[in-house]
A and B are shown apart, each in its own frame.
Chain A
Amino acid sequence: MSEASAESSKAIRIEKKGAGSDASRLAKQSWFSHVMHRPESGAVSGLVFVYVFFVLFANGSGMFSAEGLMNIFKVSAELGILAVSVSLLMIAGEFDLSIGSMVALAGLIIGVGVAKLGLSLPVAVMIAFVFSLLIGAFNGYLVVRTKLPSFIVSLATMFILRGVAVAATRMLTGKTQISYVVNELNQNSWVVSLFSGHLFTGLFQTLAEHGVIDMRPDGLPAVQGIPMSILWWLAISALATWMLLRTRLGNWIFATGGDLNAARNMGVPVDKVRILLFMFSAVSATLFATIQVLESGSADTLRGIQKEFEAIIAAVIGGSLLTGGYGSAIGSMFGALIFGTVQIGMFYTGIDTDWFKVFLGVMVLLAVLFNDYIRKMATSSR
């Protein structure tokens, strides 16, 4: 007894001798390496590279006119809306392959609701959102209950939703496309302004009158204003970033994806977190669909095809790990912006758009390799 307590108390009196990480033993970390440790650093350098490239090769093509830039932002915004929720899901260690089908289905709910069932536009949009919450909850519930990889579960719902969308639309309307969803009766509805309106139209009119931006022959500015889709994109990205980095839920999302069991053992409600994120991804798909339907005025069973992959690509370029536990919501914004810039840039430079897919594939490979490197750096002593 005495021997042992002597032994233990001796161990206690040891001063901090060689305790691995004494502050003095660590080399001072440079500002540069601190920045490079952020998950979105790859996407930001990629974006700089893309803009340098197009400024060199597409200057004077109109790509950097107000109209060209607005096109870039619009394409980026639509993908970005999906990519934010996908990046959150990926950080939590899950995939949702069903969002592309959800885009089609949500659009068709609005279309059928208005054109076939005679619902008002706000009601149809509301039904689409409620429905997407249910679908998202179902996806999440299936994943947490079956414990199957969400890749497989959402692959199944991807086919189910697309199938239901096509079959039900054909059954109800005899067609696969519904036009005049937005028509003379409802084009002034507040939902139209909310999802497909433009901001600062007066300002853009003035700018056009003063020759700052181009004027169309009919006296309207080439760019009417800032499309609502861009505002939605910025708002959702900002909210998701704040939530991820500054709230308790954000901490839980990282933990859930980092190590499901460890997080559960620490009392994190990992099932609730995941179900919530699946609901968020279905809702963002519906937001995307609503914007698309109200901008184009029509719904189509072919909408949203491959969007799930494009969103994953944007999230990966934005620094989210395929294995979960690490990533960035704001990074997905940069990922989507790279995507939109290259897509529109190719159009303006006259590069055959077939090369776009090649570019995407290469970007994904580079991004994955880079993310892996960043992750290793983040956990190695710095």
Chain B
Amino acid sequence: MVPVIELAKVRKTFGSVIALDGVSFDVYPGEVHCLLGDNGAGKSTLIKVLSGVHQPTQGTIRIDGQDVQFKSPRDAYKAGVATVFQDLAMLPLMSITRNFFLGREPTKGRGIFRRFDAKFADVVTRKEMVRIGIDIRDPGQAVGTLSGGERQGLAIARATYFGAKVLILDEPTSALGVHQASMVLKYIDQARKNGIGVVFITHNINHAYPIGDRFTLLNRGTSHGTFKKAEISREEILRVMAGGEDLDALMEQLPGVEA
């Protein structure tokens, strides 16, 4: 099987800052690939390369085995890479429907009479949201009225509907409570079952481990490698994420904590 998307030895610098240094990464259809790493490790930068926001300084991107170049997020979007950014790319003052179809509005009519097909958009939005498990009363209500988990659900439903092959989620559970986080994990699993390759970024091993099929660990712009779930334990991931021995040392320094 060919990965749906693949980064080969990608390097990305911002001036003198090396955000990514020769990182390779791939995602297969129907898997959840977790990207883990401390603050500033380069996770957001990596997915911005995947989604066309940044162009890699060096290295290649492949879609279904073909070399591609994304000049803009629109290019990536067209190639089937849907990204839910940390800031969610939601317009809180706009309606659920308008957010759902943002940038891909269905139209009817021709020429100067070409217009947004609001009725169709409302029907689809409502149906897709119900499918993922969110029962919205009024698709015309502002996204600002939705909870954080529901917004993630909306973003995932949107990506799935538009036939994304790759779904990238940047810390979708970080700001959520236990219940809402488990809802989002449920949406992720739903996407995986639909054959989508999911890139899931999180700091929280308790969110990543249950849902992940593979794990890539980033540290200061370099990759510590990719592991199948069978190859690595929850504790080991945690240890690498915390910067190797640091956590053990910290545990020892703190009085009253068993190392």
A residues contacting B by CB (< 8 A) are 1, 4, 7-9, 11-12, 14, 16, 18-23, 26, 29, 242, 246-248, 250-252, 254-255, 258-259, 261-269, 325-326, 375, 378-382
Contacts and interface: CB of A to CB of B under 8 A. Distances in A.
Interface string B67-110: 00000111001000001010111111110001001111101000
A247 B73 CA distance: 22
A378 B88 contact: no
A84 B240 CA distance: 57
B186 A26 contact: no
A20 B116 contact: no
Contact of B144 (A20, A248, A264, A379): A379
Interface stretch (B4-12, B177-185, B218-226): B177-185
Given A255-B94, A264-B73, A268-B102, A246 B116 contact: yes
Given A19-B183, A258-B92, A251 B116 contact: yes
Interface in B94-135: 94, 98, 101-105, 107, 114-116, 118, 133-135
B31 interface: no
Name, among A20, A242, A326, the residue most crowded by chain B CB atoms within 10 Å (CB to CB).
A20
Interface of B: 51, 53, 72-74, 77, 83, 85, 87-94, 98, 101-105, 107, 114-116, 118, 133-138, 141-142, 144-147, 149-150, 179-180, 182-183, 185-186, 189-190, 209-211, 229-230
A272 to B, nearest CB: 12
Given A21-B147, A258-B91, A326-B93, 12 more contacts: A8-B189, A14-B182, A16-B134, A20-B149, A250-B116, A251-B94, A251-B116, A254-B91, A259-B89, A267-B72, A378-B144, A379-B145
B93 A375 contact: yes
Nearest to B105: A248
A16 B93 contact: no
A246 B115 contact: yes
A11 B185 contact: yes
13 contacts: A4-B209, A4-B211, A8-B211, A9-B189, A19-B134, A19-B135, A20-B146, A20-B147, A248-B115, A255-B94, A259-B90, A262-B91, A263-B103
A259 B103 CA distance: 13
Contacts of A4: 209-211, 229
A266 B185 contact: no
A248 B116 contact: yes
Nearest to B180: A20
B102 A11 contact: no
Contacts of B229: 1, 4
Given A16-B135, A21-B135, A246-B116, A262 B89 contact: yes
B210 A8 contact: yes
A262 B90 contact: yes
A20 B93 CA distance: 19
A359 B149 CA distance: 46
Nearest to A375: B93
Name, among A1, A246, A248, A269, the residue most crowded by chain B CB atoms within 10 Å (CB to CB).
A248
B66 to A, nearest CB: 21
A242 B146 CA distance: 27
A4 B93 CA distance: 39
